Amino acid sequence: MKYSLKPMKTILGIESSCDETAAAVVSRGTEILSSVVASQIKVHAPFGGVVPELASRKHLESIAPVVEQALEDAGISRDQIDGVAVTRGPGLVGALLVGFSFAKAYAFALDVPWVGVNHLLGHIHSVLMSPSPPEFPFAALLVSGGHTSIYKVSSRTDMEVMGQTRDDAAGEAFDKVSKAMGLGYPGGEIISKLAESGDPHKISFPRSWLDKKKFDFSFSGIKTAVGRYMQVHEDSWHDEKADIAASFQEAVVEVLATKLINAAKSIGCPRVAVAGGVAANACLRDRVTQLAAKAGMSVHLPDISLCGDNAAMIAAAGYYKLAAGERSPLNMDVFSRMEKL
């Protein structure tokens, strides 16, 4: 495929890795001209989690109108798009294929270059899109429903894993605890809200530090501990929901924030950032800010609108790839598991 020679400026981003169909138009990697997200929460809520088959079908229904809405909101026409960036993975294969295939065809029809973007790289770029982005290098905690990792970010394209979860992601633990307590889906927002009226020190749930000198995580134990508490206090836990939520959240947040700060100290870096869906959690944002202040570090947090899955972050990451000359071939496929950023 031979692309027309156009300078990279306006990028269409497409995201469909899980249960949100998203499209955005971003200029020069930082200016968001539009960002549209079609949520599937109402579809999956009755099941207490994302049903992959249903997610794929909803993406098929939403992808075209969401992209058209993004262009309309940005006030541009299709021929003003200089390139297309799309999430390649990790994520649900069926869901990924919808956005990925659409992006390929769209770029081919417009005769513009396109590039597949690692979803996690996109989340890191959500921090870099802020009005005062961190200088390089910085330590970044990426925490969501499917991922929990700490990275040393040396540039927009050079990111090294310092630690990651060995089992459940933090966001997944929130969802599962919420489901066990009969609170609903998605669990993160529900537990965070309920925790506001609870005592975070009422119940001493375990902290899984593993090795405090290293930066891996484990959240399967805290999930089990909550379930065990509910079994032992079968007759009374219903009256303690707020305290359970607050104490559970406290245990998770303490480990996340402490390991991020320790990771930054280990590389002599005075800058930390938090990205991903759980970055919207007020308790986590406050705790990281407090610990960073004590350590003399600056904190960089994305706008709440950029914490969850969105296409603006994909367009931003894609812009720098395309501007550097990277191009994806039409025979490229998606990937469902971790791959180098």
Residue with tokens 């919808």: 98
Predicted local distance difference test score (pLDDT) of residue 213: 83
The pLDDT, as a whole number, for residue 335 is 87
Helix ranges (DSSP H) in the chain = 41-44, 52-74, 93-110, 119-128, 170-180, 187-195, 220-232, 241-266, 282-294, 312-323
Give yes or no for residue 13 having a pLDDT over 90. yes
Residue 1 has a pLDDT of 46
Condensed to tens digits (0 to 9), the pLDDT of residues 289-332 reads 999 999 999 999 999 999 999 999 999 999 999 999 999 999 99
213 in a domain, yes or no?
yes
Span 30-36, mean pLDDT? 97
pLDDT the model gives residue 157: 85
**Residues 252, 233 share a domain:** yes
Q: Flag whether 175 is marked binding.
A: yes
> Which of 129, 158, 177 lies closest to 33 in space, CA to CA?
129
Of 14, 12, 30, which Cα lies nearest the Cα of 22?
14
Q: What is the mean pLDDT of residues 39-56?
A: 94
pLDDT greater than 70 at residue 333: yes
Is residue 201 a part of any domain in this protein? yes
For residue 4, pLDDT beyond 50? no
309 is in an annotated binding site: yes
Q: Is 286 annotated as a binding residue?
A: no
Same domain, 19 and 144: no
One domain, residues 289 and 313: no
Residue 23 confidence class, pLDDT cut points 50, 70, 90: very high
The pTM of the full predicted model, rounded to 2 decimals, is 0.94
268 is in an annotated binding site: no
Contact of 181 with 231, CB cutoff 8 Å? no
What would the mean pLDDT of 38-58 be, rounded to a whole number? Answer: 95
Residue 98, domain member (yes or no): yes
**Does a structural domain hold residue 2?**
no
* Nearest by Cα to 176 from 276, 309, 45, 49: 49
Task: Please tell me whether residues 179 and 217 are part of one structural domain.
Answer: yes
Model pLDDT, residue 340: 59
Domain co-membership, 86 together with 104: yes
Q: What Å distances lie between residue 211 and 207, 214, 216, 273, CA to CA? A: 11, 5, 8, 22
Do 95 and 177 share a domain, yes or no? no
Is 333 part of any domain? no
- Residue at 129 is within a domain: no
Confidence of residue 339 (pLDDT cuts 50, 70, 90): low
Residue 213 is part of which domain span?
Answer: 134-301
281 is in an annotated binding site: yes
Q: Cα(313)–Cα(306) distance, rounded to whole angstroms?
A: 7
Contact 51, 44 (CB under 8 A): yes
- Do residue 166 and residue 181 come from a single domain? yes
Residue 123 in marked binding region: yes
Residue 133, pLDDT > 70, answer yes
- 156 with 43, same domain? no
pLDDT of 61 > 50? The answer is yes
* Single-letter amino acid code for the residue at 80: Q
pLDDT of residue 204: 96
What are the CA-CA distances from residue 207 to residues 79, 211, 221, 249, 285 (Å)? 53, 11, 8, 11, 19
Task: Give pLDDT tens digits for 69-86.
Answer: 999 999 999 999 999 999
SS3 283: helix
State in Å, rounded, how far the first CA of the chain is from the last one: 26
**Angle, helix 52-74 to helix 93-110, in steps of 10 degrees:** 30
**Model pLDDT, residue 171:** 95
Tell me what pLDDT residue 6 has: 54
233 a known binding residue? no
Please tell me whether residues 187 and 157 are part of one structural domain. Answer: yes
Query: Does 139 share its domain with 22?
Result: no
What was the pLDDT predicted at 205? Answer: 97
| 117 & 144 share domain | no
- The count of domains in the chain is 2
The two tokens of residue 85 are: 């960036």
Is 86 in the same domain as 141?
Answer: no
Confirm whether 336 is domain-assigned: no
340 occurs within a structural domain: no
Give residue 211's pLDDT. Answer: 85
CATH number at residue 95: 3.30.420.40
